[in-house]
Amino acid sequence: MKKTIKREWLLLAAATLMGVALFAGFFGYVTWHAGPGSFYKTVTDRAPAAAQRNLSDLEKGRYVLKLGEGQVIGGVKLVYRGLAPDNSCVIGVSILDLDPETAYANIINIREAKRGFRLARSKYRLLSVNRDTLRLQLVNGQ
């Protein structure tokens, strides 16, 4: 009886090793065949769907700022920081030529911003704003 149990363990171990070897061979073939680094490149370098969808908006000078994410517009980095309780929004502005590490907080009244406002060297007009997203249009600037 002991011989049959020993034989079963030997067959199970051999089948497991064979399965691991086949999986490793298949995985190696697939990743080598696709080219070095192609898997990680496609995963990390995907353009967001919103960026592809809004190409026409960029041509018209319209920009979408997500909460906490920066966007560079004409040598100035704008970061939407959220809504303030007094019907205004907060935008962080970093002038890249002057000091890219320092963000200057600008509190802008929403009603006045719909008519236009100036940040750094450019004039913008607020299109819409909510808790997570700010949409603005570059009226004139660099």
SS3 74: coil
Binned at pLDDT 50, 70 and 90, residue 2 comes out as low
Cα separation, 109 vs 90, whole angstroms: 9
106, 119 contact by CB (below 8 A):
yes
Ordered strands of the 122-129 beta sheet: 62-66, 133-140, 122-129, 117-119
| Mean pLDDT, range 12-22, rounded to an integer | 93
pLDDT top residue among 48 and 134: 134
Inform me whether the pLDDT recorded for 46 exceeds 90.
no
Tokens of 1: 């009886």
pLDDT in tens, 76-97: 999 999 998 888 999 999 988 8
Inform me whether the pLDDT recorded for 27 exceeds 50.
yes
